[in-house]
Amino acid sequence: MSVVEQEKTGAHAAATTEPLLSVRNLVQEFVSRGVGGVKTGVVHAVSNVSFDLMPGETLGIVGETGSGKSTLARSIIQAPRAKSGEVVFRGQDLMTLSHHGLKKARHDMQMVYQDPFGSLNPRWRVEDVVAEPLLAQGGLSRDARRERVHELLNLVGLDPATYCRRRPLELSGGQAQRVAIARAIALNPALIICDEAISSLDVLIQAQVLNLFEKLRSELGLSYLFIAHDLATVKQVSDRVAVMHLGQLAEVGPAEQLYLTPRHPYTRALLDSIPGLDPETGAARRPVPLAGEPPSPLDPPSGCRFRTRCPRAQEKCAVEEPLLTDHGNGHHVACHFPLEDLAATIPGPREGTVGLAAGAE
Ligand SMILES: Nc1ncnc2c1ncn2[C@@H]1O[C@H](COP(=O)(O)OP(=O)(O)OP(=O)(O)O)[C@@H](O)[C@H]1O
């Protein structure tokens, strides 16, 4: 049985009701410094974020630029270590692991970044790039390593005979991202965190790489955290979607339901900011930009962090932080005055529509 066949029948694909990843009250903060290194404040980049990811599931994470998506991803893999909270991955709380334990756990959770060239050593040949994690882990002979590298390249759709001896700069962006993905799956991870992994690619290539992620998910039983600013892409690949706003989760729910009937005014503003079709008439809809700048993560508003841009905000929103609340069918919303029904999603100007500022994602 080949290594790939072993993976297909492996533990990752086993059906289980235990989450693969459980994030609880995760907090990440950075000290902000001004001229001369003087401390000017604390950036509240991720604040009390909680969610579960089930085996084989893809959870999309969307939000404006600076909402904390990448920091959340990096805090999950503890690079750098999160300030507080729990990150239970395959039964182990990564927050409590030693450096060595963390290094081992990271074999099972890999990142794929936006810029494949930035993550590949330009001097190395493709075969060495892909073999590197295998070499670091040890236990395989040179021949077994080569066989595994060929398997991995075939898995990501690159012909080993053509690509093994190439260097990253002899590859297109899509080919380089495939090499990065081959390296990421080399040690049979259970989880891949994609941080804007297709954003730098041409539209056609984006579709091919998305198909590759989907193929790997079904063949290897992978789970994904899929971070992207492109809401349409996230909807396409995700089982559930989490919407981040200023370091917090505003809404989490099944992808189709969240896009059709967003409950949080921020989610609806994000959806309204992209060109699309009217869900009722099918006619083209004009994007509505969200007014106002996002508040600074150095000094987030009291209560609901969206209230300063929210047309539904009332007194309660300034004094009481809304918690993620179950609205049924796994749809959770952190809003004191959530949108109620499909009628609220009809193109506007409409109740609760606030639009995204130009340049916001
Ligand atoms: N190392 C750091 N030191 C200080 N502040 C940081 C650091 N890393 C991130 N931040 C700040 O934390 C906040 C969240 O940033 P983050 O990059 O996680 O957002 P994002 O949603 O991924 O944005 P984008 O879509 O632009 O990548 C921002 O205000 C950012 O400036």
- Category of 41 on φ-ψ map: left (φ > 0), alpha (ψ -120 to 50) or beta: left
Q: Which atom of ligand 1 lies at the shortest distance from residue 227's CA?
A: 22
- Residue of minimum CA distance from atom 3 in ligand 1: 30
| pLDDT at residue number 277 | 64
Q: Which atom of ligand 1 lies at the shortest distance from residue 73's CA?
A: 18
Collapsed DSSP state (helix, strand, coil) of residue 287: coil
The Cα 264–Cα 50 span in angstroms is 17
Q: Which atom of ligand 1 lies at the shortest distance from residue 46's CA?
A: 14
User: Ligand 1 mean position to 140 CA, how many Å?
Assistant: 39
Rounded mean pLDDT, 337-360: 51
3-state secondary structure 93-113: EHHHCCHHHHHHHHHHEEEEC
Collapsed DSSP state (helix, strand, coil) of residue 204: helix
- Domain ranges in the chain? 3-238, 262-345
Buried-exposed string 30-44: b where 16+ CB fall within 10 A, e elsewhere: beeeeeeeeeeeebb
| pLDDT at residue number 284 | 75
User: Ligand 1 mean position to 67 CA, how many Å?
Assistant: 7
User: Ligand 1 mean position to 297 CA, how many Å?
Assistant: 9
pLDDT tops 70 at residue 130: yes
Q: Which CATH superfamily is domain 3-238 in?
A: P-loop containing nucleotide triphosphate hydrolases (3.40.50.300)
- Category of 61 on φ-ψ map: left (φ > 0), alpha (ψ -120 to 50) or beta: beta
pLDDT in tens, 160-177: 999 999 999 999 999 999
Let me know: does 148 contact 185? Beta carbons within 8 Å.
Answer: no
- Residue of minimum CA distance from atom 1 in ligand 1: 30
pTM for this prediction? 0.88
Q: Which atom of ligand 1 lies at the shortest distance from residue 31's CA?
A: 4
Let me know: does 326 contact 332? Beta carbons within 8 Å.
Answer: yes
CA angle, 196 as apex, 194 and 200 as ends, to 5°?
A: 130
User: Ligand 1 mean position to 66 CA, how many Å?
Assistant: 5
- Residue of minimum CA distance from atom 14 in ligand 1: 68
Collapsed DSSP state (helix, strand, coil) of residue 288: coil
Average pLDDT, the chain: 89
Let me know: does 85 contact 23? Beta carbons within 8 Å.
Answer: yes
Longest dimension (CA), the chain: 68
- Residue of minimum CA distance from atom 30 in ligand 1: 66
Q: Which atom of ligand 1 lies at the shortest distance from residue 361's CA?
A: 25
Pocket around ligand 1 at a 6 A CB cut-off: 30, 32, 43, 45, 63, 65-71, 229, 297
pLDDT in tens, 5-44: 444 444 444 455 899 999 999 999 999 998 888 888 999 9
Runs of H (alpha helix) within the chain: 3-8, 69-76, 99-105, 126-137, 142-155, 160-163, 173-184, 203-220, 231-237, 255-260, 265-272, 315-319
pLDDT in tens, 176-217: 999 999 999 999 999 999 999 999 999 999 999 999 999 999
pLDDT tops 60 at residue 106: yes
User: Ligand 1 mean position to 147 CA, how many Å?
Assistant: 40
User: Ligand 1 mean position to 193 CA, how many Å?
Assistant: 17
Q: pLDDT band for position 279 (50/70/90)?
A: low
Q: Using most ligand atoms within 8 A of CB, pick from 27, 49, 69 the residue to mutate for ligand 1.
A: 69
Let me know: does 331 contact 275? Beta carbons within 8 Å.
Answer: no
The pLDDT > 70 percentage for the chain reads 88
| pLDDT at residue number 293 | 82
DSSP string over 330-351: T-EE--SS---SGGGGSSSS-T
Exposure on the CB side of residue 339, measured as CA atoms within 13 A: 28
pLDDT tops 70 at residue 359: no
Q: Which atom of ligand 1 lies at the shortest distance from residue 244's CA?
A: 21
Q: What token pair was written down for 165? A: 């001896």
Q: What token pair was written down for 347? A: 């193109």
